Amino acid sequence: MRNLIIIDHPLVKRDLTLLRDRRTPSNLFRAILRRMASLMAYSVTADLRVQQISVTTPLERTRGYTVTDSIILVPILRAGLGLVGGFVEVLPDARVGHIGLYRDEETLTPVDYYLKLPERLNKALVILLDPMLATGGSAAAAVTFLKKKGARKILFVSLVAAPEGVRTLSKAHPDVKIYTCALDRQLNSRGYILPGLGDAGDRMFGTAE
């Protein structure tokens, strides 16, 4: 799993534990996810390119820096939306595209229903956001869409990953680095991550029966 980077900051671990807890209600789930996304964004953006500029303080001129990478965030709908706010907070100039995918409950294969991406994808660092990397089918399909539209530098960011998903995504797209906060044990027979945190979209939007 050469491409896998685990973000194991103590505050990220604390927040992930709160998200895993079945008692955490949707309003708290959303707030914690947003906070966690900002923490994750620090790790994910550690290699951004900067350019030296000069800045004038109230006292004198000194050296400063500006980020030169153009960044495009792409959440996979629905659950990826929960990560956008936290990333945008620390990347205010980022543009945002959207990919709509859901997993067919029987076959577990991704079904696409929406695609809207900013221009000049080929010049940007594209950060694909989805809390769950389960079978890896959705992530691999989303990366394929992005590459077809010209993306060349893509990172995938998730909260929880299953070994099966990491393998599938790495095999399909070995050039894509995978960031996650936890590599969980396995998938169950319905394709849910164990121990996981349940259905991320349902928990976030309160749509579980």
- Residues serving a catalytic function are 103, 107, 199, 202
| Length of the chain in terms of residues written | 209
Cis peptide before 25 (omega within 30 of 0): no
Tell whether residue 196 is a contact of ligand URA (CB under 6 A). Answer: yes
Tell whether residue 31 is a contact of ligand PRP (CB under 6 A). Answer: no
Beta carbon nearer to ligand PRP, 86 or 136:
136
Beta carbon nearer to ligand PRP, 78 or 98:
78
Provide the CB-side half-sphere exposure for 160 (13 A, CA): 23
User: What share of residues in the chain are helix, strand, coil (percent, to 5)?
Assistant: 35, 30, 35
Tell whether residue 108 is a contact of ligand PRP (CB under 6 A). Answer: yes
Tell whether residue 134 is a contact of ligand URA (CB under 6 A). Answer: yes
Tell whether residue 88 is a contact of ligand URA (CB under 6 A). Answer: no
Tell whether residue 143 is a contact of ligand PRP (CB under 6 A). Answer: no
Which residues are within 8 A (CB) of 169 and not within 5 positions of it... i.e. 6 or more apart? 133, 136, 139, 140, 143, 156, 176, 178
Distance between CA 113 and CA 156 in Å, rounded? 20
Find the part of the chain contacting ligand PRP (CB under 6 A) among 8-16, 31-39, 98-106, 176-184: 98-106
Point out which residues bind ligand PRP (CB under 6 A): 76, 78-79, 101-103, 108, 110, 130-139, 165, 191, 199-201
